[in-house]
């Protein structure tokens, strides 16, 4: 069994504006520690997947920075999509490329912006899932035991009876719920957070795409036939221009009868908002997390980021303050998911210089 990894890194991280921009999105900035999130994602694979077997799928705007940040990877392993077409196209494209190298390769499909500190636990879970996927040709996802009724995550319902060595049959996928529904999921005991990580053989996921997404599979067949041609980039652009934008969850996982789950034996966060960053950061005695030249007085439970200029925050509570060279964000922590609306507004008003 040979392991490959595909890291999906084409997102813009709109909820992390104004630090996250189109050319330097969330996965390419330092949020925790000395490394960017994508650098940590690759480092996490050390001892599990060979460097030459690690692929990153991104877009043409972000590709130069990814090459710069990941010089240890072969340049040909940085794949740029001509257009963003959601995760189904990204996963299909990478599966075709990996399959051309080794048909029964097991692919660990990962996001570029997750926070996982327990590396041994991560490796243990991935190997358990990979062995099962290789042997059974099943589609395996990683579920995280929920610690709170989170409304920002999707959920997966499982059959609690073990299928095979801590592998469970998936019963149902649930979209991000409201608070009362999330509480019901937690109390039921058979719902886990959907981590968005998948493990499968290259030939297996392509077979499932053929079964459930015929239009996408037809495009992938064209790519497969032209994968070693000089004009592959032109062919890719032509094929992508005809694809629908659909997630792999909706396109395959929610329809397939061949989906299994194993529980993640590690801490995990998708770092989905500034509120999550606050929760994961170290706090002073007043519950504040301060990065940069920051002064606070009569201020509590707030996250203040201002590395480029002095910032004073007085008499407030539960705020997110992000002060960059060209923009300032101030929002209540409970509204951190709404930061994306700022990006939507800037797009509508053609404020490209702030995106």
Give me 25's structure tokens.
């999105």
Cα gap 89→237, rounded to integer Å: 12
pLDDT number for residue 74:
96
> What is the topology classification, in CATH, of domain 3-263?
Spore Coat Polysaccharide Biosynthesis Protein SpsA; Chain A (3.90.550)
Structure letter (DSSP) for residue 175: P
DSSP characters over 213-258 = -HHHHHHHHHHHHTTTSTTHHHHHHHHHTT-----HIIIIITT-S-
Nearest to 199 by CA among 268, 253, 250, 244: 253
How far apart CA 261 and CA 320 sit, in angstroms, is: 35
Torsion 65-66-71-77 (CA) sign = negative
Instruction: Single out the residue of 243, 170, 240, 174 nearest to residue 213, CA to CA.
Output: 243
Residue 257 CB partners (closer than 8 Å, separation 6+)? none
Distance CA 249, CA 111 (A): 14
Which residues on neighbouring strands pair with residue 81, listed in sequence order? 59
* CA 238/CA 242 separation, integer angstroms: 7
- Cα separation of 276 and 32, whole Å? 12
Tell me what pLDDT residue 44 has: 97
* Helix pair angle (86-101, 202-212), 10° resolution: 140
Q: Provide the sign of the torsion angle of the four alpha carbons 282, 33, 79, 25, taken in this order.
A: positive
> What are the residue ranges spanned by the domains of the chain?
3-263, 274-354
Find all residues with CB under 8 Å of 174, minimum gap 6, and list them.
154, 155, 156, 157, 181, 185, 191
Q: What is the pTM of this model?
A: 0.93
- What distance in Å separates the CA atoms of residue 142 and residue 121, rounded to the nearest whole number? 12
Contacts of 306 (CB under 8 A, 6+ apart): 291, 292, 293, 294, 321, 322, 323
pLDDT in tens, the chain (355 residues): 899 999 999 888 899 999 998 888 999 999 998 999 999 999 999 999 999 999 999 999 999 999 999 999 999 999 999 999 999 999 999 999 999 999 899 999 999 999 999 999 999 999 999 999 999 999 999 999 998 888 888 999 998 776 666 899 999 999 888 889 999 999 888 899 999 999 999 999 999 999 999 999 999 999 999 988 888 999 999 999 999 999 999 999 999 999 999 999 899 998 989 999 999 999 999 999 999 999 999 999 999 999 999 999 999 999 999 999 999 999 999 999 999 999 999 999 999 899 9
Task: Kindly give the pairing relationship between strand 191-201 and strand 155-158.
Answer: antiparallel
* Angle CA 33–38–44, to nearest 5: 80
The position carrying tokens 């001509």 is 82
* Backbone φ, ψ for residue 212 (5° rounding): -110, -15
């Amino acid at each position: 069994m040979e392991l490959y990894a595909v890291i999906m890194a084409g997102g813009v991280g709109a909820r992390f504006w104004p630090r996250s921009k189109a050319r330097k999105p969330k996965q390419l900035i330092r949020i925790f520690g000395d490394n960017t999130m994508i650098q940590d994602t690759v480092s996490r694979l050390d001892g599990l997947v060979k460097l030459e077997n690690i692929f990153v799928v991104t877009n043409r705007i972000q590709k130069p920075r990814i090459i710069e940040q990941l010089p240890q990877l072969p340049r040909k392993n940085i794949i740029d999509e001509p257009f963003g077409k959601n995760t189904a196209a990204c996963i299909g494209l990478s599966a075709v490329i990996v399959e051309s190298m080794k048909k029964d390769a097991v692919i660990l499909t990962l996001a570029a912006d997750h926070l996982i500190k327990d590396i041994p636990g991560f490796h243990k879970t991935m190997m358990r899932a990979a062995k099962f996927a290789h042997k059974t040709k099943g589609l395996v996802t990683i579920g995280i035991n929920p610690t709170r009724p989170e409304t920002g995550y999707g959920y997966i319902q499982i059959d609690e009876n073990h299928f095979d060595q801590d592998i469970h049959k998936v019963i149902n996928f649930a979209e991000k719920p409201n608070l009362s529904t999330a509480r019901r999921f937690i109390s039921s005991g058979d719902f886990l957070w959907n981590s968005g990580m998948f493990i499968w053989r290259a030939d297996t996921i392509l077979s499932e795409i053929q079964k459930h997404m015929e239009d996408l599979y037809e495009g992938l067949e064209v790519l497969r036939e032209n994968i070693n041609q000089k004009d592959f980039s032109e062919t890719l652009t032509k094929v992508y221009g005809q694809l629908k934008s659909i997630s792999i969850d909706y396109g395959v996982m929610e329809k397939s009868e061949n989906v299994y789950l194993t529980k993640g034996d590690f801490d995990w966060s998708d770092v989905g908002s500034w509120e999550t960053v606050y929760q994961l950061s170290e706090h002073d005695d007043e519950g504040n997390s301060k990065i940069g030249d920051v002064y606070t007085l009569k201020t509590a439970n707030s996250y203040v980021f201002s590395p480029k200029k002095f910032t004073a925050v007085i008499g407030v509570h539960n705020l997110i303050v992000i002060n960059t060279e060209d923009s300032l964000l101030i929002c209540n922590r409970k509204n951190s998911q709404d930061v994306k609306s700022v990006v939507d507004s800037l797009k509508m008003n053609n404020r490209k210089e702030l995106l």
